Amino acid sequence: MATPAHRIVFANEKGGTGKSTTAVHVAAALAFRGARVVAFDLDHRQRTMCRYFENRAETMQRRGIDLPTVECHVAEDMDEAAFEDFVAERADGADFVLIDTPGRDDPLARHAATTADTLVTPMNDSFVDFDLIGQVEGESFKVKKLSFYAELIWEARIKRGRSQIEQNRTQMDWVVVRNRTGHTEARNMARIEQALAEMSKRVGFRVAKGLSERVIYRELFPSGLTLLDKGHLGDLGTSHLVARQELRGLIASLRLPGGPAAPFEVEAAE
């Protein structure tokens, strides 16, 4: 039986967590490895991820350059079965299927999350975002209950574990990515770390450090360029180099199949 494409799903029912930005850069990093990546944008209203790669194609044409890129499709108004047919048709032969979900509760997004080989949940370092996966006591900040979303993923992992041999898939790896940690007050950061550690033991996710520098990512969107596009970004300031290193660290922490990506192996030369 052929090994199916590794499915990476970026999901968070709260907006403003850097989900699409993280998804785009992970997709680009995989493309830099030489992998064939087919992406699906489930937010057919904003379609941020697909717009990013459309901007990238326009930049390549305008500048006459060739960059690793990603085939991106928008999924509009379809149920779970139709979506899976849509993915199967367009991602045949792909190494990775990457799905970016909308920052709101959505039935198709819930379905996509439960099908992930790697589920990435970016969150800002605040208890507002933590509430997506669990609730804490107001005084002690200890976790008192799982959220609906955490229970959904927990049940999906159990179900998948029972049938993973028949499906030729491994157990789901759930990674909670902490973005914007530099904007968090130290005491609050420690409380969030404690709550995440407690919650991770209950539902089995890993915690990874994400992206703290956000301005450069917003600036890159119109061109569709990424921090990996060396030689096409002009002069980079110190903060931009730090952001690139954070991105390298995030990619490594996701432990995706295929080994380290080529653009992450030349840091010492910079």
Q: Does any domain span residue 115?
A: yes
CA 48 to chain centre: 13
Q: Does any domain span residue 52?
A: yes
Q: Does any domain span residue 119?
A: yes
Q: Does any domain span residue 101?
A: yes
Q: State pLDDT tens for residues 24-75.
A: 999 999 999 999 999 999 998 889 999 999 999 999 999 999 999 999 999 9
* CA pair distance 9, 113, nearest whole angstrom: 6
Contact by Cβ (8 Å): 74, 41: yes
Reference 128, options 240, 245, 16, 9; nearest CA is 16
What's the CATH code of the domain at 139?
A: 3.40.50.300
Domain that holds residue 221: 6-262
Q: Does any domain span residue 221?
A: yes
Q: State pLDDT tens for residues 254-269.
A: 999 986 544 444 343 3
Q: Does any domain span residue 95?
A: yes
Q: Does any domain span residue 1?
A: no
pTM over 0.85: yes
For residue 219, the 8-state DSSP code is H
For residue 104, the 8-state DSSP code is S
If one counts the domains in the chain, the total is 1
Q: Check residue 58 and give its pLDDT.
A: 97
Task: State the Cα angle at 169 between 84 and 11, rounded to 5°.
Answer: 55
Q: Does any domain span residue 235?
A: yes
Contact by Cβ (8 Å): 119, 153: yes
* CA pair distance 26, 247, nearest whole angstrom: 8
Contact by Cβ (8 Å): 167, 111: no
